[in-house]
Amino acid sequence: MCDVLVALPAASAIGATLFAKNSDRPPTERQVVEWSPARRDSGPLRATHLEVPAHPHATLACVLSRPAWGWGAEHGVNEAGVAIGNTTVFTTLDPRGAMVGLTGMDLVRLALERAASAAAAVDTITEMIARFGQGGSGHDPLLVPHGRPYWNAFLVADPTTAFVIDTSGGEWAVEAVTGVRAISNRTTIPAFDAAHRHPRQPVDQLVNPRWLASQQVLTQQPVSVEALAAHLRSHDMFGAEGWSVCMHVEGVEATTASMIAALRPDGASEIWALTGHPCEREYTQFAFSEARDHDLVNV
* Active-site annotation, residues: 2
Selection from 121, 101, 119, 113 nearest residue 170 by Cα: 101
Find out whether 163 and 118 touch, Cβ atoms under 8 Å: yes
What span, in angstroms and rounded, lies between the C-alpha atoms of 232 and 223?
Answer: 13
Query: Nearest 5 degrees, angle CA 170-CA 167-CA 220?
Result: 165
Say if strands 51-52 and 45-46 run parallel, antiparallel, or are unpaired: antiparallel
Cβ-proximal residues to 273 (8 Å cutoff; 6+ apart), any chain: 33, 63, 65, 257, 258, 259, 260, 283, 284, 286, 296, 299
What span, in angstroms and rounded, lies between the C-alpha atoms of 18 and 6?
Answer: 6
Whole-Å CA distances, 47 to 2, 4, 26, 50, 204: 22, 23, 21, 6, 34
